[in-house]
Amino acid sequence: MARGPLQQTGAGVLTRRQRERRGRRLLLVWTAVVALVSSGIGGLAGAYVEREGVGDVTLPQAGSVPAGRAPDSVAGIAARALPSVVTLHVSGADEAGTGTGFVLDARGHILTNNHVVQPASSGGEISVTFSGGDTAKARIVGRDSGYDLAVVQVSGVRGLTPLPLGDSDGVRVGDPVVAIGAPFDLANTVTSGIISATERPITAGGEKSDGSDVSYVDALQTDAPINPGNSGGPLLDSRARVIGINSAIRSAGTGSDSGSGQAGSIGLGFAIPVNQARRVAEELINKGHATHPVIGVTLDMGWTGDGARVDSRARDGGPAVAAGGPAARAGLKAGDVITEVDGERVHSGEELIVRIRAHEPGDRLRLTVERGGEREVSLVLGASEQN
């Protein structure tokens, strides 16, 4: 059997050339060995340093962030608005709660929701906490359950900065917004989102058997997170102007929530448009009560058909169409079904009230009415008062 060449293990006699070649090979081998040994020592030393904690570890950090923020950023809007937003702690004989409000003027008037201050309406107390931590007592100037708005006033507080009021009629779907409030009593909480719908007819409240506490709102809808405690706080546009008053949420388990329960946000929040709130706030401050636009009819709220049906009789047994009122002058009769307001469909009595409440007394409306056929009537809104 053939064998390969043998490798000698003993020393042999080498020629000069063989010695030179062997020297070069040894040099290369030694160099390789030195490199391997060096890397091994380095690895062992690094492992030892890491294991034994020899030497300080310094982690990289990004450069410093500029102190200022763009005025239209969420941080910029919050910085301007927070000093004007307050947290209200309200207590009454049987209940207590937390809500939000914001400064209207240097005289100490603060706008919030009626359902926030309602527990203090019969001898309770209202404590207002400003963003800097200062507190003051407040009194109710006026409130209106139909619009779910109220004005309170603090005294002896200097340096108040009113929040500027914007124009809710100019709001468009997709506009960025910022909400500020005290959800679950977490004061000075800032959230952001967009306007997800406008002119959304909603009703809230209704805990009283006679329905006198139901509010009707042609609301701005937003996906900015709003939770119980945000009620009465401002919804701001990109220029830190108030465009709405956060008032209600739609929650997964309980339906419409006025902010007093424990349901959380699912991205469906509703705010009273500031153009409506401005008029009501001015009347509450100047008169102590607000006027509601009316057409002078009693609606059949149990009607299940499409549209808003004029009832057969008023609740007190009188005529459903008030004598001499706007509807009577326009020729409306009991049993008429109102299907449109200024060309916009209404599908229920609640929707009709919401559409009317979005206007002011003295505004002219065009109604589409069904009575054995369809016809249009024009009327000028009257006024009623509700405390």
Query: Which residue among the candidates 89, 109, 115, 292 is catalytic per the annotation?
Result: 115
Q: Give Cβ neighbours of residue 87 (< 8 Å, ≥ 6 apart).
A: 98, 99, 100, 128, 129, 182, 185, 187, 188
Enumerate long-range contacts of 7-14, CB under 8 Å, 24 or more apart.
none
d(CA 188, CA 230): 10
Query: Residue 369 contacts by C-beta under 8 Å, 6 or more apart in sequence?
Result: 332, 336, 337, 338, 339, 375, 376, 377
327 vs 313: CA distance, rounded Å: 14
As a whole number of angstroms, the distance between CA 120 and CA 141 comes to 12
Q: How far apart are the first and last CA of the chain?
A: 119
| CA distances (Å), origin 300, targets 87, 95, 121, 289, 309 | 40, 34, 31, 27, 6
Residue from 144, 145, 148, 218 carrying the catalytic annotation: 148
CA 260/CA 106 separation, integer angstroms: 29
Catalytic residue among 145, 231, 251, 258: 231
- Contact present, 369 and 334 (Cβ < 8 Å): no
6 CB-near residues (< 8 Å, 6+ apart): none
Burial class (CB in 10 A: 0-12, 13-18, 19+), 303: middle
Q: Residue written as tokens 């009021």? A: 165
Which run of H or of E encompasses 357?
helix 349-357
Residue 115 known to be catalytic:
yes
Helix/strand number for the chain, H first, E second:
6, 20
Element (H, E) at 370: strand 364-370
| Token pair listed for 253 | 């388990």
Radius of gyration of the chain (CA): 37
Backbone φ and ψ for 221, nearest 5 degrees, come out as -105, 135
Residue numbers annotated as active site:
115, 148, 231
